[in-house]
Structure 1
Amino acid sequence: MSCLPDDIMKSVISCETAKATWTDLVHSFEGPSDTKENKIMNLKLEYQTFRAKLTERISQTYTCYKTLLNELANDGVNLSKREINVGFMNSLPEKWLTFSQGPRNANHTQTLDLTDIYERFVYEDKLIQRRDDEEVVDDDEVTLVKVLMALADDELTVGKNHARNGE
């Protein structure tokens, strides 16, 4: 009991039974049962309204979602695999809607773990990023070709004008 803070030690030292001591400790650290119920209700509400921020990466969304799930589990709220997976997919921005239909239609929401579903989204995100990078390179190449064509046209025009003027 020496590991208890002084103020809590003073309150439990006067308890006459182990049950009274335990009840006092629970109230000291967790609060009354209605406080715990309020916390659970708040966590459930947070879970139901959880949404990814448009500016965050999928890894950040996953980390926040996992933290929320851990808090729920620590307070005795257990969700099914399907609830967890569908909740995560529903929280993602609209750009993921098409990709999330695959796992839903194949019933992977009931069989796969959240980590497996997350890894599929990470893989898809890397493919999208690679495609976007290639499009930027393609756009740069198109711009370069247009610049070279414009320069060639200018030289041909200058050459023709000089030829007409007898230069």
Structure 2
Amino acid sequence: MQAHLSALDDDMWFIVTDGSMKIMKVNTAVAITEDKRKANLDNVARDILYKTLDKNMFSKIKSCTTAKKIWEKLTQLCEGNDQTKENKLMVAIQNFDNIKMKPRETMNEFDERFSSIMIELNALGKSYSSHEVALKVMRALPRE
């Protein structure tokens, strides 16, 4: 009992001289380490994003404070809103529907142009079956 009172007195004296005691969680050191790790990862991610952007794009995201905010801003800038996406999809579908091999165009050039349209359609969520694609290519080629 005497030892218990002595410890209580020490604690009481600490409160008087240094102020109230702060009760900390058992895993405070782990939490602080985890917060530092997350902050460092965010810094690394922001640095990577900054290094991949040209000056024009960087000027549009430089006010973003986290990698997540940078990514969201880039997504908005590059993909646009729902209306913009819908317009892009309509244009890509029209390009697919209207594609024809041009006079003096090589098969490689046509293939690159056609592949570009297909990549854009896929990126916008539109896909065609292999049969539909084959038919489109056959119809796009000149009779010769």
Q: TM-score, normalised on structure 1? A: 0.47
The Cα of 1:80 is off from its aligned counterpart by: 0.5
| Partner-residue secondary structure (3-state), 2:62 | helix
The Cα of 1:27 is off from its aligned counterpart by: 1.5
Determine the C-alpha separation between the residues in 1 that align with 2:126 and 2:91. Answer: 12
Q: Which residue of 2 aligns with 1:8?
A: 61
Q: Which residue of 1 aligns with 2:92?
A: 43
Q: Which residue of 1 aligns with 2:143?
A: 94
Counterpart mapping for 1:16-165 below 5 A: 23-95=72-144
Taking a change above 3 Å as real, the CA distance of residues 25 and 61 of structure 1, as seen in their structure-2 partners, is: closer
Q: How many residues align?
A: 90
The Cα of 1:6 is off from its aligned counterpart by: 3.9
Contact 1:8 1:28 in 2 (8 A): no
Structure 1 unaligned regions, length at least 5: 96-167
Deviations 1:54-101, CA, capped at 9 Å, x for gaps: 222223222221221122112221111011100000000122xxxxxx
Q: TM-score, normalised on structure 2? A: 0.53
Q: Counterpart amino acid of 1:48?
A: D
The Cα of 1:36 is off from its aligned counterpart by: 1.4
Structure 2 unaligned regions, length at least 5: 1-45, 51-57
The Cα of 1:25 is off from its aligned counterpart by: 3.8
What's the RMSD between the two structures over aligned residues?
Answer: 2.2
Determine the C-alpha separation between the residues in 2 that align with 1:44 and 1:87. Answer: 12
Q: Counterpart amino acid of 1:85?
A: A
Identity across matched positions, percent: 23
Determine the C-alpha separation between the residues in 1 that align with 2:134 and 2:73. Answer: 39
Determine the C-alpha separation between the residues in 2 that align with 1:29 and 1:91. Answer: 30
